[in-house]
Structure 1
């Protein structure tokens, strides 16, 4: 079994993993790298390899996992496309923000034939099967386990083993584990970060801006925000669709989120910034209503809190660098302890880490001795 590292290794963004065995060749995710330009924006896979793919599996609709799908289609991919219904519902909007316009026609045609599955399904390709499970990262998000009958590889995509909102299924035993190493060796527990965010918001009773991705993190924040908060009006329908995802949540959480969304205030660019917490998308200020909201908030001295990854060459990075925005991480990836538990549960296999710098991987290796902290985009391994 050959594993090609097409993106996200030694870097954050353009996450993409190729697996070839049993006469089949598949791609797990096709992301883009926010802040990059030119060829580095897309996965490091050549046209011949693209044309030879039998299938592409998309774990969820965040830009660093799906943003290159339309580009892939424009480069000659004609295989099968697999994703959950929730990911499919969000795909066009995400690609509209991060994909190139000339590639969107190819996606519009291919999207009609995308094959939908649910977390827990096993897809048999003949010569290789792909098992799936809930990721705990977003509603409809999944991890993948590829098996050729002799060897197995688990690609976690983005997972959250300790989310208070979304459920994650256990990772099975495997020969190679490709972990979500987004946070490196960060060991600060979720409850500590949540307490810090609540305290930060409470100290700003006249309102604040919380830029977020359109899926996943809004649900986590809704669970911890004060009773009165606002969202950009265009978020209401997609967030409601996420809450409606069957089996995605911990017990009772979906009912609580439904009530909180019903009571949330609608905000638009034509309104004054509100005297309560305001969520807009996306989380980096590079697209969507956050472009306008971040600019206005910065100009007016309206507090801004960033809670996720801050890529270079983005409005969020510029604001944070000039101290016009603050940052407290709201965990939507595994902490160090979470990844150690995943690795132990998978049988302590050989391990790669994606979505993480080489320096941070080296720090994590102290706790995961089976981790290869030298793997980088463009490389490959065989098991």
Structure 2
């Protein structure tokens, strides 16, 4: 089986992996790289390889995993698109924010191309058997286990083993595991980070801004907010829809989130900031209501808390660099010890890490001795 690293290796963003043999070729995710421009915004897969693809599997609807889907269609992809119902429900909004508008307009997803699945289901494309499981990262998020009869690969995509909200299924044994190494060798647990965020919120009782992605993290944040809070009014329906996915949540979590959402205050663009924590989309300030909210909060001196990845050349990064925002990572990816546990459970196979710099991978290799720290976007491997 050939493994094509089209994006996300030695870098953060545009996550995309190709798998193929003499009979079948599939693509796992097709993300974009926030902060990049031109061709570097998209995965490095060439047009000829795009046209040869039988199918693309989308793990979830965050921009670094789905943002290049309209671009892929514009380059000649006509195969099947596998995703969960929740991912499909969020795809249009994410593409509207991050895809080229002409690609969205001129190359719509044809309904016949969409094949829905639920995490836990097994699918077949040509010679490939694709098993799936819950990622613990977002509602409807999935990891993939691919078997062509000669080799077995696990692509974790984005996973969150330590989520206090979502459930992650253990990944099976394999010959190669592609780990979510977004946090390199960071060993600080989710519990410790949640306590840090709770302390920061307690220190800013008069109001603050928390930019977040559209899915996943808003629910993680809602679960730890100490009391009254506000959300951008466009978030309510999306959050309510996510809460409907019963199988995605840890026990009793759905009831807590329903209660929190019912008491949340709706906030709209241009309104005075509330005297409580305010959640807006997105986490980097590159799209959605956060673009104006971050600008206004920064100008007015309203405390801003960033809890996720803040790429270069984004409003969130500028605020952080100018000390107008605080950053406390709320883990929505594996910590060091969690990645070691995933690798051990998979049988200690050969490993690659995505969504991480090479220097970060070298730091992590001390704990994952079979981690390849030299593989980068554009490389082609075989098992």
TM-score normalised by structure 1 residue count: 0.99
SS at match of 2:254: helix
Instruction: Tell me the distance in 1 between the aligned counterparts of 2:355 and 2:249.
Output: 25
Tell me, yes or no, if the aligned pair for 1:212 and 1:279 is still in contact at 8 Å: yes
Residue 317 to residue 2, structure 1, CA distance change in 2 (3 Å): same
Tell me, yes or no, if the aligned pair for 1:214 and 1:282 is still in contact at 8 Å: yes
Tell me, yes or no, if the aligned pair for 1:180 and 1:334 is still in contact at 8 Å: yes
Tell me, yes or no, if the aligned pair for 1:15 and 1:32 is still in contact at 8 Å: yes
Tell me, yes or no, if the aligned pair for 2:79 and 2:113 is still in contact at 8 Å: no
SS at match of 2:130: strand
Instruction: Tell me the distance in 1 between the aligned counterparts of 2:6 and 2:73.
Output: 16
Q: How does 1:318-337 map to 2 (within 5 A)?
A: 318-337=318-337
Residue 111 to residue 40, structure 1, CA distance change in 2 (3 Å): farther
The residue number in structure 1 matching 2:187 is: 187
Q: How does 1:85-164 map to 2 (within 5 A)?
A: 85-111=85-111, 113-164=113-164
Instruction: Tell me the distance in 1 between the aligned counterparts of 2:107 and 2:239.
Output: 23
The residue number in structure 2 matching 1:206 is: 206
The residue number in structure 2 matching 1:343 is: 343
Instruction: Tell me the distance in 1 between the aligned counterparts of 2:32 and 2:73.
Output: 14
Residues 146-165 of structure 1: CA deviation (Å, up to 9, x unaligned): 10012100000000011110
The residue number in structure 2 matching 1:6 is: 6
Tell me, yes or no, if the aligned pair for 1:212 and 1:280 is still in contact at 8 Å: yes
Tell me, yes or no, if the aligned pair for 2:61 and 2:87 is still in contact at 8 Å: yes
The residue number in structure 2 matching 1:175 is: 175
Instruction: Tell me the distance in 2 between the aligned counterparts of 1:291 and 1:150.
Output: 48
Residue 103 to residue 193, structure 1, CA distance change in 2 (3 Å): same
Instruction: Tell me the distance in 2 between the aligned counterparts of 1:144 and 1:24.
Output: 16
Tell me, yes or no, if the aligned pair for 2:205 and 2:275 is still in contact at 8 Å: yes
Instruction: Tell me the distance in 2 between the aligned counterparts of 1:31 and 1:2.
Output: 20
The residue number in structure 1 matching 2:257 is: 257
What CA RMSD, in Å, does the superposition of the two structures yield over aligned residues? 0.8
Instruction: Tell me the distance in 2 between the aligned counterparts of 1:131 and 1:168.
Output: 14
Instruction: Tell me the distance in 2 between the aligned counterparts of 1:114 and 1:32.
Output: 21
SS at match of 2:113: coil
The residue number in structure 2 matching 1:302 is: 302
| Higher mean C-alpha displacement, 263-272 vs 213-222 | 263-272
Give, in angstroms, the shift of residue 21 of structure 1: 2.1
SS at match of 1:108: coil
The residue number in structure 2 matching 1:268 is: 268
Instruction: Tell me the distance in 2 between the aligned counterparts of 1:269 and 1:331.
Output: 28
Give, in angstroms, the shift of residue 219 of structure 1: 0.5
Tell me, yes or no, if the aligned pair for 1:73 and 1:106 is still in contact at 8 Å: no
Tell me, yes or no, if the aligned pair for 1:14 and 1:42 is still in contact at 8 Å: yes
Tell me, yes or no, if the aligned pair for 2:246 and 2:254 is still in contact at 8 Å: no
Instruction: Tell me the distance in 1 between the aligned counterparts of 2:28 and 2:14.
Output: 11
Give, in angstroms, the shift of residue 135 of structure 1: 0.1
The residue number in structure 1 matching 2:242 is: 242
Give, in angstroms, the shift of residue 110 of structure 1: 2.3
The residue number in structure 2 matching 1:278 is: 278
The residue number in structure 2 matching 1:196 is: 196
The residue number in structure 2 matching 1:227 is: 227
Instruction: Tell me the distance in 2 between the aligned counterparts of 1:153 and 1:180.
Output: 14
SS at match of 1:211: strand
The residue number in structure 1 matching 2:372 is: 372
Give, in angstroms, the shift of residue 243 of structure 1: 0.8
Give, in angstroms, the shift of residue 380 of structure 1: 1.0
Residues 130-176 of structure 1: CA deviation (Å, up to 9, x unaligned): 11000000000000011001210000000001111000000100000
The residue number in structure 2 matching 1:50 is: 50
What is the aligned residue count? 383
- Structure 2 unaligned runs (5+)? none
Give, in angstroms, the shift of residue 269 of structure 1: 1.1
Residue 27 of structure 2 is aligned to residue 27 of structure 1: yes
SS at match of 1:375: coil
Give structure 1 regions of 4+ aligned residues with deviation exceeding 6 angstroms. Answer: none
Give, in angstroms, the shift of residue 107 of structure 1: 4.7
Tell me, yes or no, if the aligned pair for 1:22 and 1:148 is still in contact at 8 Å: no
Instruction: Tell me the distance in 2 between the aligned counterparts of 1:201 and 1:338.
Output: 27
Instruction: Tell me the distance in 2 between the aligned counterparts of 1:343 and 1:107.
Output: 39
